[in-house]
């Protein structure tokens, strides 16, 4: 029989650098209501997703998407337990654009050979999610840099288009000035006769 330990983490609200303390809550998972732990960050979902994926990559873990969850099967997160568990994460956006918050859910499932009791695992999972805040802050900085780089690329393209148009117009103006000078010369010659 499998023991199911579920941890929900509320993560992310745009702007603030701090995270609240993790707390207990609930989430729908595999058509049942599961206990969970919540933590709130002030950032949009893509920032939290990127931070989580980077953290898990640092741990050399690879996940797969499955029905809105990012699942890391048969994995070890040393700061939580040395036992192999299935970790499932889910992010949900809250708040309006410009004031986004993200809820990050963490569920842990494992067989009967889990080292440590559920209270200790839950406490360690809360600490793991709270420690993720520095990764989220770093992810937000990277996200903002990429966003600004994209804006710069667009603005540079607009500038290049304007410069090209200006150059073409400048050439037309110079050509027209030559025509006007030539016509003035013809006019002056005709008046001189």
**Residue 163, in any domain of the structure:** no
Rounded to the nearest 5 percent, the helix, strand and coil shares of the chain are 45, 30, 25
Tell me, what's the pLDDT at 50? 93
**Residue 34, in any domain of the structure:** yes
pLDDT digits (tens, 9 = 90+) for 10-59: 333 333 444 578 877 888 888 888 877 788 788 998 999 999 999 999 99
**Residue 174, in any domain of the structure:** no
Tell me, what's the pLDDT at 37? 78
| Phi and psi torsions of 107, nearest 5° | -120, 140
Whole-number percent of the chain with pLDDT over 70: 87
**Residue 171, in any domain of the structure:** no
pLDDT digits (tens, 9 = 90+) for 72-121: 998 999 998 888 888 989 898 887 877 888 888 888 887 666 666 778 88
**Residue 169, in any domain of the structure:** no
**Residue 70, in any domain of the structure:** yes
Name the domain count of the chain.
1
pLDDT digits (tens, 9 = 90+) for 135-189: 999 999 999 999 999 999 999 999 999 999 999 999 999 999 999 999 999 998 8
Q: What is the DSSP string of 35-72?
A: EEEE--BSS-HHHHHHHHHHHHHHTT---EEETTEEEE
Q: CATH number, domain at 22?
A: 3.30.310
**Residue 65, in any domain of the structure:** yes
Work out whether strand 23-29 and strand 32-38 pair parallel, antiparallel, or are unpaired.
Answer: antiparallel
Tell me, what's the pLDDT at 53? 94
Tell me, what's the pLDDT at 5? 39
List the domain range (segments joined by +) for residue 34. Answer: 3-145
**Residue 106, in any domain of the structure:** yes
């Amino acid at each position: 029989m499998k023991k199911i330990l579920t941890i929900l983490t509320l993560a992310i609200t745009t702007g603030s650098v701090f995270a609240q303390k993790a707390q207990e809550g609930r989430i729908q998972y595999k058509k049942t209501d599961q206990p969970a732990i919540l933590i709130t960050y002030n950032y949009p979902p893509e920032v939290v997703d990127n931070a989580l994926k980077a953290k898990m990559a640092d741990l050399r873990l690879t996940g797969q998407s499955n029905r809105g969850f990012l699942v890391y099967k048969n994995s070890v997160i040393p700061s939580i337990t040395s036992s192999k568990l299935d970790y499932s994460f889910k992010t949900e956006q809250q708040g309006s654009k410009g004031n986004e918050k993200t809820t990050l859910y963490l569920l842990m499932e494992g067989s009967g050979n889990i080292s440590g009791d559920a209270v200790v695992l839950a406490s360690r999972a809360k600490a793991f999610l709270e420690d993720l805040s520095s990764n989220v802050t770093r992810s937000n900085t990277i996200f903002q840099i990429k966003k600004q780089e994209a804006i710069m690329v667009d603005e540079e393209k607009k500038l290049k288009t304007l410069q090209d148009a200006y150059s073409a117009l400048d050439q037309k103006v110079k050509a027209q000035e030559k025509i006007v000078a030539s016509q003035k010369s013809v006019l002056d010659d005709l008046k001189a006769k």
